[in-house]
A and B are shown apart, each in its own frame.
Chain A
Amino acid sequence: MRDSSSSLSVHPITAHWKKFLVLGLIGLGVAWFFAFQGMLEHHHRPLLSVLVGGLFWVSVLIGLLMLTMITRVFDAGWAPVIRRSWELVLPALPLVLLLSVVPMALLPKFRHLLWDWTDASHLLPNGHEVGHDPILQAKSWFLNESFFLGRIFGYVVILGGLVWALRKWSFAQDTDRTAGHTHRLHAISAVGIPLGAVTLTMLAFDCLMALSYHWFSTMYGVWFFALSIRLALAFTVIITYRLSHGGWLDGIFNQAHRHVLGCLMLAFTVFWAYISFSQYFLIYTANIPEETYWYNIREFDSITGLKNQWWSVSMYLIFGFFLLPFLILLFYRTKIIAGRLLSVAWLIFFGGLVDLWFNAVPRQIADKSGPEGFIVAPFLTPHLFLDLAALLGFGGIVIAVFLRGASRHETIPVHDPRILESINYHE
């Protein structure tokens, strides 16, 4: 009988959390150092590395938050043993936001570099200043600095609040064995899903879409959701692979759990493709210049008019991030053999990074050598290594939070009413 935390059996692999914390701090230190250097030279790209690295993990964690609430609302019988790992990693969500987007938005010099509409004196390719741009003036009820900052803090508070509530009563159930907590979490999740959906949509608008403020897409929030769930499922497959080979899920995580994760990965691979294509398709069909330019700078070189590096990146997204995982995941055996599913998860993990690059990095930089007064920021630059540092940095923090949490709480929800159903889950 377990009734106090003193009887908690701590798994030895949780002791590695300090190593991951050190890795994380080194990565973050490198990324932020170069971002600071870049700021002094008025160069935005190093700062973008921190944004891409941070948003990659924000995306993973928002996906996990949504999956946690969705499995609660639907009383998913397979979920409890896996959901506890999600609950353990979730506090990293507000933390990553506080270490990436919040300082960027808060410090004016960083903010002006990334979100050029916040700097009224910024020069546009047509030679005018941002402050005199009629398109920005029309959008200024939404795109103004104080509302922007308020929204950024709002995301931290709302997402942090949801994480806090979902964890509090789930952990409380471990000690007081009250089934009522499951009903309470059901209700919290029912409210939390629409709240989380609006928050992640606005977050995608502010952190990614607002990087090029002329452009707009109403599908952007759904795209970010689809990407987040794909990344969250890939992350889950990767950590459960490790945890079921010498971790605390050894002998608990079975073939049917893997199958269900594989099926969800297939479903959201198709969903991501559907949303991404629909966004492209609507803009392609309508053919309105203020929308098409966003895709044009991702296809054509602004000087020669030939295909640029971003065109290859977009082809990778179609064939490497959709078609290949889709075809592999169609096979039943992919979904039940641990090694194969792990490979697809890594493929999706990498593809998600490429998708973030594709959305965040290309931008028009005012330059007289381009016939239309701008050049497009290229894909292949040494800053990709900086992206890697930021990714590992935030990743280290996330894993450190996860392992440290696992040393302080039950690693499966021992008194969840569905725990037996979850452990004995079969196809």
Chain B
Amino acid sequence: MNERNERIHGVACTFRRPSDVFHAAERVRDAGWKCWDVHTPFPIHGMDQAMGLPRSPVPRLTLLGGVTGFLTGCLLTWYMNSYDYPLIVGGKPYWSVIFPFPVLYECTILFAAFGTFFGQFIFNRLPHHHHPLFDLPQFSRVSDDTFMIVLEARDANFHLDASRNFLLSLGGQEITVIRD
């Protein structure tokens, strides 16, 4: 084994019931952990609060995309109809905010959708072709009948033995050290 394979990604711990993992998550949150995650086979209502997660920052990129789209639409219609090739259509002004409005809002919607789509890619750090958790044999059961909390080594609170004991004290079943 080379040096790289010796590095530790974190500690994983399985739970049997949704309520166990829910209360364990609250304790991890209260202990001040930042780099950790909960894996469950189905959404558990209230888990966001139990984990102390803030709201997603994606809507900000959506708004940014929408505003960019609106301005792009303005520039597009103004450049084409009023600057590059001025043309009178139906007795209307070369450019006003009224006649190109369908273009403006379609551009707004398109760019807002781009902001949302690529925004979630950025904040989810996608594409991500492999993850150390995939090497864990128990991990496939997380999509079936097992719940899992993973404490990551990059968190300031992480210390291998202490973290393992902390997970045991939360009522964890099976504790595994994940190597990079």
Interface residues, chain A, with chain B CB atoms under 8 Å away: 277, 280-281, 284-285, 287, 330, 332, 426
Give 7 CB contacts A-B under 8 Å. A281-B98, A281-B101, A285-B90, A285-B99, A287-B90, A330-B63, A332-B55
B105 to chain A, nearest CB (A): 9
Contact in complex: A284, B98 (CB < 8 Å) = yes
Contacts of B101 in A (CB 8 A): 277, 281
Give Cα distance in the complex from A332 to B48, angstroms: 15
Contacts of A281 in B (CB 8 A): 98, 101-102
Give Cα distance in the complex from A426 to B98, angstroms: 41
Beyond A281-B101, A332-B55, A426-B45, whether A287 also contacts B63 by CB under 8 A is no
Nearest-CB residue, chain A, relative to B63 = A330
Q: Is the interface of B mostly helix, strand, loop or mixed?
A: loop
Contact in complex: A426, B46 (CB < 8 Å) = yes
A282 to chain B, nearest CB (A): 11
Nearest-CB residue, chain A, relative to B102 = A281
Contacts of B55 in A (CB 8 A): 332
A219 to chain B, nearest CB (A): 15
Contacts of B102 in A (CB 8 A): 281
Contacts of A280 in B (CB 8 A): 98
Nearest-CB residue, chain B, relative to A284 = B98
A273 to chain B, nearest CB (A): 10
Nearest-CB residue, chain A, relative to B66 = A330
Give Cα distance in the complex from A287 to B93, angstroms: 13
Give Cα distance in the complex from A276 to B41, angstroms: 46
A330 to chain B, nearest CB (A): 7
Contacts of B90 in A (CB 8 A): 285, 287
Give Cα distance in the complex from A17 to B41, angstroms: 52
Give Cα distance in the complex from A287 to B55, angstroms: 48
User: Is B91 interfacial (CB-CB < 8 Å)?
Assistant: yes
Contacts of B63 in A (CB 8 A): 330
The 8 A CB mask of B55-76 against A (1 = contact, 0 = none) is 1000100010000000000000
Contacts of A285 in B (CB 8 A): 90, 99
A306 to chain B, nearest CB (A): 19
Closest 7 CB pairs of A and B: A426-B45, A284-B98, A332-B55, A287-B90, A281-B101, A285-B90, A287-B91
Nearest-CB residue, chain A, relative to B48 = A427
Known contacts A280-B98, A287-B90, A426-B45; 13 additional CB pairs below 8 A are A277-B101, A281-B98, A281-B101, A281-B102, A284-B98, A284-B99, A285-B90, A285-B99, A287-B91, A330-B63, A332-B55, A332-B59, A426-B46
Give Cα distance in the complex from A426 to B45, angstroms: 8
Contacts of A426 in B (CB 8 A): 45-46
Nearest-CB residue, chain A, relative to B91 = A287
The 8 A CB mask of B29-49 against A (1 = contact, 0 = none) is 000000000000000011000
Give Cα distance in the complex from A330 to B59, angstroms: 9
A363 to chain B, nearest CB (A): 25
Nearest-CB residue, chain B, relative to A424 = B45
Give Cα distance in the complex from A284 to B96, angstroms: 12
Kindly identify, within residues 14 to 41 of chain B, every residue whose CB is under 8 Å from any CB belonging to chain A: none
